[in-house]
Structure 1
């Protein structure tokens, strides 16, 4: 600043580059009537649309971060008829980080179930198929990076959580739970940004094994396949 003079203070560029606005992480209501999704860069308001929504519909808001500085990064509708209007979700801001249970359309944050500090982050969150609890993937910051991430199970009847995997040098990331609730298929990587493989593990942590190399985004069929009523084996016939 110079008195009585106009001076050049530099150039400030304002751009929308890198700002994402779209639908992310879609999830169906258990009765199939609506589909929900996160808007923004994957961590913002949760909205829903009817199953047969018109083109370009924006949907109605069902859940938003409780704080103006908060981030809503994972939302799951209840898996059964009794839990159809319940939302299990993860939210974090500068002061509070955790997993909550709320009713759709509720104005408050809901019931806190799991809390964690700034040295942890949630990579994924899924209900158990029978609604008795949920599984989540929680990463730990160490040595200037997300050094490890493990799967945990939370049970509503006890309010307790149990660790399923015990990685100290690998990341368990996105996952899917089998329809009978006994198996989990999950992404496993040595570090963020590196090659991801799919692994299988029982919910009790046993029988862990590699399923597919260089694969990700697992999604288990919502219904277990039915066994065929009969089997047939056909062999080539050689005539002499």
Structure 2
């Protein structure tokens, strides 16, 4: 009976989603867009920055999951689960959503303030952000919250940790080099890489700028945002290239599992609506996969396997 009731609830959620979310699904279906490979999970909400529901797109079909509301996510477990930081009043903290069982499992118990989680490739540790209005640090811990370690220090904000595909390094963004009074585009942010224990810290964007970084599946390249465009560079910080070259605001790049495509968030000039777009890893074949209107926004894409 419990399984039957869960199935009925899932169908109700997918069929009865009202307002702009349902309008988005109709527009996408009419455009007959389809993913070239794998599946993409993303968040849709009213106005950017607010928590929203997690949607899943595979081929040209999309559904709203039964995960709690969030602002960020990533595929883990070979694309079978989604790791995210829940922002529902009744469900704070880090959760793992199983795409087969449609269940949410709480990780890092007794830590409601953990944010921006990333799971190590071996599935044994979580990197996450801990902090407040004056600054934040990158932490790592076992899934049950034990063996807690702080791997960054110093002033400023340290955000969005991302494990390298081999699990040996962590990529993150920081404001530690921001000049007094801030910098251009809302503050100077750099991308750093370090060993998983916090040692061998290297600035990949010294004298430049970096935000919302993502490793390529083979670990050889990094995609990131700089002043509203998507750039790529080698994992040592060399050969930086602007690949999106758009007169818009592009952010949050996420590589496809085969490394041939990049999903990203685009805010059209003069509009509030944000959409998920995809492009080849060289910046060609750019096209949207969501079609929002008004103040509806889709963001935080993650690309997983079938």
The separation in 2 between residues aligned to 1:197 and 1:136, in whole angstroms, is 17
Asked if structure 2 preserves the Cα contact closer than 8 Å seen for 1:137 and 1:150, the reply is: yes
SS of the residue aligned with 1:114?
coil
Shift, 1:74, TM fit? 2.3
2:216 pairs with one of 121, 128, 131:
128
Q: Which residue of 2 aligns with 1:218?
A: 301
2:286 pairs with one of 208, 212, 228:
208
1:35 pairs with one of 122, 126, 140:
126
The reply on whether 1:72 has 2:190 as its aligned counterpart is no
The separation in 2 between residues aligned to 1:37 and 1:193, in whole angstroms, is 32
The separation in 2 between residues aligned to 1:114 and 1:158, in whole angstroms, is 7
Alignment of 1:39-58 (within 5 A): 39-41=130-132, 44-51=136-143, 53=144, 57=145
Asked if structure 1 preserves the Cα contact closer than 8 Å seen for 2:212 and 2:251, the reply is: yes
Q: Which residue of 1 aligns with 2:246?
A: 167
Structure 2 gaps, min length 5 = 1-111, 180-187, 293-297
Q: Which structure exhibits the higher relative contact order, with contacts defined as CA atoms closer than 8 Å and separated by 6 or more residues?
A: 2
The separation in 2 between residues aligned to 1:191 and 1:41, in whole angstroms, is 32
Query: Deviation per CA, 1:63-121, whole angstroms, max 9, x where unpaired?
Result: 224x32x22122211112xxx1211122223347422221122356x12221245xx5x
Larger radius of gyration: 1
SS of the residue aligned with 2:259?
coil
Asked if structure 2 preserves the Cα contact closer than 8 Å seen for 1:184 and 1:200, the reply is: yes
Distance 1:49 1:203, change over 3 A: same
Q: Which residue of 2 aligns with 1:102?
A: 194
Distance 1:208 1:195, change over 3 A: same
Structure 1 gaps, min length 5 = 1-20, 140-148, 226-240
Q: Which residue of 2 aligns with 1:92?
A: 175
- State the number of aligned residues: 180
The reply on whether 1:190 has 2:278 as its aligned counterpart is no
| CA RMSD after TM alignment | 2.7
Shift, 1:62, TM fit? 3.7
Shift, 1:138, TM fit? 1.6
- Give the TM-score, by structure 2 length: 0.53
1:25 pairs with one of 116, 128, 152:
116
Asked if structure 1 preserves the Cα contact closer than 8 Å seen for 2:221 and 2:232, the reply is: yes
The reply on whether 1:112 has 2:190 as its aligned counterpart is no
Asked if structure 2 preserves the Cα contact closer than 8 Å seen for 1:45 and 1:61, the reply is: no
